[in-house]
Structure 1
Amino acid sequence: MKLLRVGSAGTERPALLDEDDTLRDLSGIVPDIDAGLLADEAAFGRIREAAAAGRLPGLAAGTEAGAARVGPPLSGIGKVVCIGLNFHDHARETGAAIPEEPIVFMKAPDTVVGPDDTVLIPRGSEKTDWEVELAVVIGRPARYLASHEEALACVAGYAIANDVSERAFQIERGGQWDKGKNCETFNPLGPWLVTADEVPDPQTLTMRLWVNGALRQDGTSADQIFPVAEVVRYLSHFMTLYPGDVISTGTPAGVAMGQPEPKPYLREGDVVELEIAGLGRQRQVMKSA
């Protein structure tokens, strides 16, 4: 299933995009797409049954390309855990050594915005960068997992994330990476939460990003140093993952930081578009904060 949330910020309603690309209203079945839904197999069953029986009313708005705003596909996110330098080609372009263990950092849930919402370039920023990423949404508690099979069983679904980053704040201002990762609007998510049954192998997904129409990133999740199952298993030994937690699993080569000088960092008015096979497409216009 492709689950999404449609409406103005703070008043989104749950919806389903069916096989005919028709937007269906889920508000009569579930109050929202959130941790409670992800942990409730019976609720998922009711959605599937209603969809199969044709009992879900259509919404007048279009899909993510239509008139209505599409919000983040998940509300009440508990935590956003990110993996840095998790693609071989991205490590090469930045001159970094291949990590022996996953590099872990956090983004605050309030950085999450809709897939087509405006992204704000922070005041004083000269090095705002883009990163197309495969986001993993947790659907059941994960604690001290022993195998990759157990890890994938904890995944409710997948979405697109843009791990927007301010490189000077991240690298040149001392301390940890968080200062360059947690600026407002720095985590567009969606348009859909695609349930795990529709992504049988998360290591076969093409990932692309364009800036002002120029292709900048063109990679595949097959190039991940630590695949999705290992990332989930590994993290479960350092923190408990709960339904509604999101993991961003790294970006392929092609970020601005890895380009020759002058590096093409984002400026007001730039348009960023990104897609992952089967997970939809995002589009953001940059604006000064």
Structure 2
Amino acid sequence: MIDFLEKQHSPWQSILLLLLLTFACSISIQILVIVLGLLTNANAQSFLSSGGDLSALQNTPFFVYALLASSTFGTFYLPAIFLQKREPYNLYFPSQNKNKYLFYILAIAGLLAFGPMMGLIGEWNANITLPEGLKGVENWMRRQEDASNDLIRNLVMVDSIGLLFINIIVMAVFPAIAEEYYFRGSVMHILHRIVKNQHLAIWITAIIFSAIHVQFFGFFPRVLLGAFFGYMLIWTNNIWVPIVGHFVNNATVTILAYYYTTQGKSFEDLQSYDNYPIFVYLGSLLLTAAIALLFYKKSKSNINYGEGLD
């Protein structure tokens, strides 16, 4: 037993191993997809000559889907799985209370209840301007945001049920599982071992989760979303609750995009925020708080990684 314990990794060793696995898996999987694209004439040459700009592949959407799916799979899912296999003494993907469907319902209800407030925060974030001395940085951030939006627009604004189904798989199912395994499963667990405080681990993970998307003018709503997913995990000790919440959040956007397209509306219409009276925002906050309190009380297991909620 002593021998076994001596072989356990420290949290710093775990985070280093996770980063190495991330780099290795991400590069390997994407190289494989690009090679297959070259062999099948899927316009992979355009992708390479553009320096990895996905917008250069607008005429070959299925190759874009393959790159996005492989990126999600290689960058997030595989490293998390390999880390768990390498460190079986750490429970990175707890699944207690797996059949308690009330938790899934409350998770979805909480996200829906916070919708108006999330929209208000998103609008504020989208209109942030930096000081005059940082205008160059702001312009770069805007260009990055526009490039990201161009890619998303070309993928989600579809009027075909077949493409909608692919969008749900590639942009909702895959990211929900892979990113929750990686961030709430692996990263949050390791950070909790380092900082010794669950709340701090949740918020640091949420910040990393948002930053990794490189969408600066949606940074704060995504941090809040990441924090929601973190608390879902520690209150239920079930990784599938935040996975379901993540899926519903992403799938809602893809389905709305399909609906807007069939109604002749634009991507800009999809991105626009509705303005509500102040009592709607107050109601959103109060309802979200009530659902969160009920969620907490209904949770039979407030234990995460062997310790109680701080």
Normalization by structure 1: what TM-score? 0.28
Instruction: Identify, as 1 or 2, the structure richer in helix.
Output: 2
Looking at secondary structure, tell me which structure has more strand per residue: 1
Normalising by structure 2, what TM-score?
A: 0.27
